[in-house]
Every structure is written in C-alpha cells, then in structure tokens.
Copies of this chain bind each other. A is one copy, B any other.
C-alpha cells in the first residue's frame, strides 16, 4: 500500500506553530515530500528559513529553508496538502485547493462540522472516509477536504472509542488542562501564564462538546448520524509546553467494572489498514497503573507523540467511571493527526 515514489505535498500556512510541526514531521517522511509551502502576504516570495521564526527544537533542513514561500491563494499543483491555516483563511482557501484537485488534510476548525466533510481519526472512524464520495459529487471537486478534530477532542475521543463500543457512552464530563503550544506562537503571553492558570480558551468548550458526537457517530446512507450522548467541557490553560490532559468522568449504558474498562482500553487496536501507516503509534492507547500518571511532560512523547495515555481509571460517585487521559496536542492533536489522515487516504486509494 506504500506509494512507489514520494508524493509531493503542500503545507498551507507553513510558517506558524502547527505549520512548523508539519515541516518537522514531513522531513524524511517515507511517502511524502514537501513541494509547496504557503504563507501570509509578508512571507510570499521569500525563503522559508528567513520568514519562519522557528520555535521547535530542531531546525528545518537546508532544502526546506531555501524553499520560496508561495501564496495560499495559488491553489493546486499537488495531490495532497496539509493545512495549518487559521479558521477564517481555511474557510476560503481549502475549497479552492479541493476544487483544484488537491486532497486537503486540514487541522483548521472551519469545515469540521460540515456534514459532507469527514472529521477523521484513523483509529476511531476510518469508515467516515466514505463521505468523500458524496462531498466530491455534491461539490464537483476532484480533490477533497478531510479534517482532524480539535486537540482536546482527540485526546478525549481516543479513550471514548473502545469504551463506547463495549459499554455505550451516555454522558461525559471533561475538564481540560491544556498546554500553551495549543495557542500557537506568540500565543499566550508569559505574564499571563507563569505561576498561573487561565480558566478559559475561546470557542474550545463548544468544540469539545460537539466534535465527539460526530467522531463517534454512525455512517448511514452517506451521512453521519451523531452519537446520542452529551458532553460537558470546562477548559483551563496551564503552564505546560506540550500535552493536553483531560480529567474525565463518563456514564454508560452498561456500567463496566473498573477492570473491564481497563481491559477495553488496553485491547483497543486500530484497524489493519491503519496499523501499518508510517505515523501510526504502536498502540492507540497505553494504560498506566501508577496512581500519578499520565503526566504531560513524561507521557506526551509516547510513540513519537502519537500515543495516548490513560491512567487513574476509578469509580465515580456521580457518573460511572473517572480517568485522566493525555496526548500531545501539536503532534497527535494537530500536525501528526492530519498527517496520519493523509497516510490513510493514500493507503485507501483516495490519493494517488
């Protein structure tokens, strides 16, 4: 299923925090090769290495640093694009690229809840890819738009998938402790977050309360029937660099014992089509038994940042079970998630 020669890809909005993660993950990728980098007005026509104020630990390769940034509005030319555009720009640009024949794997929120656009996590709902056909038919595109969820949603849903399958999720309480990298760069001012917590992130709770219902929804007649449970989210920004932690409580149709839930989480495996993808984690979920895990700094890099860690599975006095779940917000929750989507689309023959 691996492509014979590397597929040229574009990164839309390549200079920002998530764009840089795409660059980092796509350098030396076995299937993909960066062919196009797009950026804002002030970057166009200049070498990437000059205009991207690099905030990650490594540096881009010389080849990438010397690539000339092009305009996002000049759509097409590659079969696959990864989008790190802000929502408003994504709203205009992504359909243009899809129309020009490019499959856009987008991290933007603009089209996540569009009924024709798959909101996709390969381990969770790979069958939702089927929406692409309807999308292409109705929109007349040769390309497509596929989205990955919000960085807190994905953390939560990775744990909910196996529990929902076996026990039927009815209600979810999710209180997040989110890393500063989720706000991009420059993002959170240090004066706002050092020795502090900010109990608010604009629009975030709404995403966490709605996206899981689509992700765990059922594909029927070319559309997604939303899952019928309800989510209540409370978000907090904490002084942590990377890694979103979610204190979670869940009520079920059929209440599992703590040990049953742990077994369900441990047994969770991705479909065969996903397991062999280059960016797929060794296992979707690792359950830790120490009382004080998961921890952002110590667990976020699991499986190159693509793994999800669950811990503290225990009874809840109000709902049925409580646990804490964590994943890397800019890898699993953003660039890495979109990349895995792109890989799945190649493996499934949607691209190339």
Give the B-binding residues of A (Cβ under 8 A): 17, 55, 57, 171-173, 175, 177, 180-181, 185-200, 202, 209, 230-232, 234, 236, 238-241, 245, 247, 249, 291-298, 301, 311-312, 316-319, 322, 324
Query: Once the chains are docked, how many angstroms separate the CA of A292 from the CA of B171?
Result: 26
A180 cross-chain contacts in B, Cβ below 8 A: 190-191, 194
A155 to chain B, nearest CB (A): 13
A194-B195, A195-B195 known; 7 new pairs, CB 8 Å cut-off, are: A55-B191, A57-B298, A57-B301, A181-B191, A187-B191, A197-B245, A239-B240
Q: Is the beta-carbon distance between B295 and A198 smaller than 8 angstroms?
A: yes
Q: A177-B238, A189-B187, A200-B312 are known contacts. Are A318 and B232 too (CB-CB below 8 A)?
A: yes
A322 cross-chain contacts in B, Cβ below 8 A: 232, 234
Q: Is the beta-carbon distance between B173 and A318 smaller than 8 angstroms?
A: yes
Would you list the 9 A-B pairs with minimal beta carbon distance, nearest first? A186-B189, A175-B175, A200-B292, A196-B297, A234-B247, A232-B318, A190-B190, A199-B324, A188-B190
A76 to chain B, nearest CB (A): 33
Oligomer copy total: 4
Q: Is the beta-carbon distance between A249 and B236 smaller than 8 angstroms?
A: no
Q: Is the beta-carbon distance between A236 and B189 smaller than 8 angstroms?
A: no
A332 to chain B, nearest CB (A): 16
A245 cross-chain contacts in B, Cβ below 8 A: 197, 199, 236
A247 cross-chain contacts in B, Cβ below 8 A: 175, 199, 234, 236
**Can you name 20 A-B residue pairings with CB atoms under 8 Å?**
A55-B191, A57-B297, A172-B318, A173-B318, A175-B175, A180-B191, A181-B191, A186-B189, A186-B191, A188-B190, A196-B297, A198-B295, A199-B247, A199-B324, A231-B317, A232-B249, A232-B316, A232-B319, A234-B249, A239-B239
A57 cross-chain contacts in B, Cβ below 8 A: 297-298, 301
A173 cross-chain contacts in B, Cβ below 8 A: 173, 249, 318
Q: Is the beta-carbon distance between B296 and A195 smaller than 8 angstroms?
A: yes
Query: Once the chains are docked, how many angstroms separate the CA of A234 from the CA of B180?
Result: 22
Q: Is the beta-carbon distance between B197 and A296 smaller than 8 angstroms?
A: yes
Contacting residue for A324 out of B181, B202, B234, B296, CB 8 A: B234
Residue with the highest number of chain B CB atoms closer than 10 Å, among A194, A245, A292, A312: A194
Q: Is the beta-carbon distance between B312 and A199 smaller than 8 angstroms?
A: yes
Contacting residue for A186 out of B186, B194, B324, CB 8 A: B186
Q: Is the beta-carbon distance between B188 and A189 smaller than 8 angstroms?
A: yes
Query: Once the chains are docked, how many angstroms separate the CA of A291 from the CA of B236?
Result: 12
